[in-house]
Every structure is written in structure tokens, then in C-alpha cells.
């Protein structure tokens, strides 16, 4: 039976640490950290994610400066909103909740966010810092995965890691972080031929494909560690015990992998909570840098 890597537990520990950091340094800083989450339009999933992030901010003492913006906003108007937040001294981190309406170019808007207020490590400057191994905000989901691997003492050096997915949000920064930890990394994607022949080589398999239950028993070798980034609500014909007509799943078929993998992340409760924890971490780190605090996160879990 595979060991389930508990993201909720570690995320809670990180939140407790960050709350203590804020309490310890807030008087010197003169204010709490500030996070602005920009939600554009009425995508239901985005609403849930933003709500989770706002609740996490409230738990640890981060001031919220979010905005729910009409899907009809123009690019010029949205750039003005971001510029105003760049200039706001009470805001330390700005998160643009994706996906955006088709009328808005996420690349232009992400580049408009000040690198010093980048909450998700997606500005070109911060991606370059990641590539060079320099400090800076890191993409939240890959950072959360690295923290989970470190906390559970899963070795990376010399291991073969396969990353399915090549997005700038997860796949590409994930590969860079694994390489920095001395893993040998292979990237796969929607155009990869004979995917299972690649994934069966993986000691560590990170699945960020965006396809429900894509990975099954035939895709992994015995004792592999499998990290499931996906989350999907899949409709079903019959109503479940709790009255739902759908169920949550990830990019892996966890039932098939239970007896083969050595460890896996559950959905929900695996990678998701860690993504939020790393958003909070980036916010507090930006706050510390902007308020010239002395290494406020030096004793945070290493990743």
C-alpha cells in the first residue's frame, strides 16, 4: 500500500511558522504583510481557489487587498489596476488568478506586476533568477512539491524524475527545481510518443497534465513516488452518499497505483494545500525584503 504524502499537515505547519514570523516582526515593519489577489470574471473554480487563499491569509495575519473584477475589463484598464497595486506601499505581493477571460493576455499582465511583488514567481525576471539559482519568489506549486519531498525525506540526488506537463506555471519551473536538486529530469507532454515507456523509467513522477486519471498502473514502475498536481470534478451518473453528482480526482488513477507506488499525493489534500502555503511564504518573503527585515524565513522548512 502506497504511503500518502500529507500536504495538509505540512501546509498547516508552515502556516503556524509564518504566523509566528509575522507576529515577531510586525512591530518593526510597522504593518502586516499585504497580498492582493486579482480575480477576473466568474469562473467557479477560481472563486473557490481565491476563497481558500483569503481564508489562509486571515489565519496567519496577512492583510488582504484583493479585487473581483468584471470579465469585461479591457487590457488597458487592467494594466492600470496592476500599476496602482505596484505603487501601493501596503501591498507586498500580487497574484493574478488564472485562467483569465480570452480577451486578456496573461503574459502582458504577469509582466506588468513588479518583480518585487510577484506572488507566484512568474515574472520573467524571477523565472530567470530560478534558472540561475538566485533567490527570489518561486512558482508556488513546484515549490510546494519540493517542500513535500524534502519533508518526507524522499531523495532526489541521482534519481530519475519525469515531469508530465511543460507549462510555465508548473512543468518548466518544476523541472528546473528538480535539476537543481541533482535529479536527472525528463519532461513529457501532449506530443510525447509512447508516454508509458518514459514514465516507467521514473523514480519520481510529477503529473501536471490536466487530464483526469491519465496515469494508471501501466505507466509506473514498482516503488515509484508519484506526485499528482491535477484536480478535476468529474460528473457521475449516480448520486454519491453525500448527495453529490460528481467526484474529485487528479491526473492519476490512485486506485490502480496504490499497490505499485511507494508513495503518492492524494487529491484533495496533497499538492493543493502546499500551493497555498507557498503563496503565503512568497508574500511574507516579499514583505521581509521590502521592510528590510533580517532573514525572517531563515528557519522555515528547507526546500
CB 181, CB 192: distance < 8 Å:
no
163 and 91 within one domain: no
231 and 145 within one domain: yes
Mean pLDDT of the chain: 94
Q: What's the total number of domains in the chain? A: 2
Using the 3D structure, point to which of 51, 81, 115 is the last residue of a domain: 115
Domain region containing 43:
28-115
Could you count the other beta carbons within 10 Å of the beta carbon of residue 96? 22
62 and 174 within one domain: no
75 inside domain? yes
193 inside domain? yes
14 inside domain? no
291 inside domain? no
* CB hemisphere CA count around 206 (13 angstroms): 31
158 and 101 within one domain: no
CA distance 157 to 126: 24
CATH of the domain at 153: 3.40.50.720
300 inside domain? no
pLDDT in tens, 208-263: 999 999 999 999 999 999 999 999 988 876 655 666 678 889 999 999 999 999 99
CB 136, CB 126: distance < 8 Å:
yes
The C-alpha angle with vertex 157 and arms to 153 and 162, in degrees rounded to 5, equals 95
- DSSP reduced 3-state for 210: coil
262 and 209 within one domain: yes
CA distance 92 to 292: 12
CA distance 166 to 122: 14
CA distance 136 to 131: 11
| Active-site residue set | 53, 97, 120
151 and 110 within one domain: no
CA distance 272 to 148: 11
Give the pTM: 0.94
160 and 231 within one domain: yes
153 inside domain? yes
CA distance 263 to 23: 36
Using the 3D structure, point to which of 53, 82, 115 is the last residue of a domain: 115
CB 159, CB 293: distance < 8 Å:
no
303 inside domain? no
Q: Is the peptide bond before 268 cis (omega within 30 degrees of 0)?
A: yes
pLDDT in tens, 207-216: 999 999 999 9
196 and 262 within one domain: yes
171 and 60 within one domain: no
97 and 165 within one domain: no
CATH of the domain at 109: 3.40.50.10860
Residues of the chain short of pLDDT 50, as ranges, are 301-303
Q: What is the model's pLDDT at position 300? A: 55
21 inside domain? no
CA distance 33 to 123: 20
Give one word for 253, left, alpha or beta, with left for phi > 0 and alpha for psi -120 to 50: beta
188 and 236 within one domain: yes
168 and 92 within one domain: no
Amino acid at each position: 500500500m502506497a504511503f500518502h504524502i500529507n500536504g495538509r499537515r505540512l501546509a498547516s505547519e508552515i502556516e503556524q511558522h509564518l504566523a509566528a514570523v509575522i507576529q515577531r516582526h510586525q512591530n518593526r515593519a510597522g504593518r502586516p504583510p499585504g497580498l492582493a489577489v486579482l480575480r477576473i470574471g466568474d469562473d467557479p473554480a477560481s472563486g473557490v481557489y481565491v476563497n481558500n487563499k483569503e481564508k489562509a491569509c486571515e489565519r496567519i495575519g496577512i492583510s488582504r487587498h484583493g479585487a473581483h473584477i468584471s470579465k469585461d475589463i479591457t487590457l488597458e484598464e487592467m494594466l492600470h489596476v496592476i500599476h496602482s497595486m505596484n505603487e501601493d506601499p501596503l501591498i507586498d505581493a500580487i497574484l493574478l488568478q488564472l485562467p483569465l477571460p480570452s480577451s486578456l493576455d496573461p503574459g502582458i499582465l504577469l509582466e506588468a506586476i513588479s518583480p518585487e511583488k510577484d506572488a507566484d514567481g512568474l515574472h520573467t525576471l524571477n523565472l530567470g533568477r530560478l534558472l540561475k539559482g538566485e533567490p527570489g519568489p518561486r512558482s508556488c506549486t513546484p515549490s510546494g512539491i519540493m517542500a513535500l519531498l524534502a519533508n518526507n525525506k524522499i531523495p532526489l540526488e541521482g534519481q530519475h524524475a519525469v515531469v508530465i506537463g511543460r507549462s510555465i506555471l508548473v512543468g518548466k519551473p518544476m523541472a528546473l527545481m528538480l535539476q537543481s536538486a541533482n535529479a536527472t529530469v525528463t519532461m513529457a507532454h501532449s506530443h510525447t510518443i509512447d508516454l508509458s515507456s518514459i514514465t516507467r523509467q521514473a523514480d519520481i513522477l510529477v503529473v501536471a497534465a490536466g487530464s483526469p486519471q491519465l496515469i494508471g498502473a501501466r505507466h509506473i514502475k514498482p516503488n515509484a513516488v508519484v506526485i499528482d498536481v491535477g484536480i478535476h470534478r468529474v460528473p457521475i451518473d449516480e448520486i454519491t452518499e453525500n448527495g453529490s453528482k460528481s467526484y474529485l480526482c487528479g491526473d492519476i488513477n490512485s486506485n490502480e497505483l496504490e499497490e505499485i507506488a511507494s508513495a503518492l499525493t492524494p487529491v484533495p489534500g496533497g499538492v493543493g494545500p502546499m500551493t497555498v502555503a507557498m503563496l503565503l511564504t512568497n508574500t511574507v518573503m516579499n514583505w521581509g525584503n521590502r521592510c528590510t527585515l533580517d532573514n525572517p524565513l531563515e528557519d522555515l522548512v528547507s526546500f
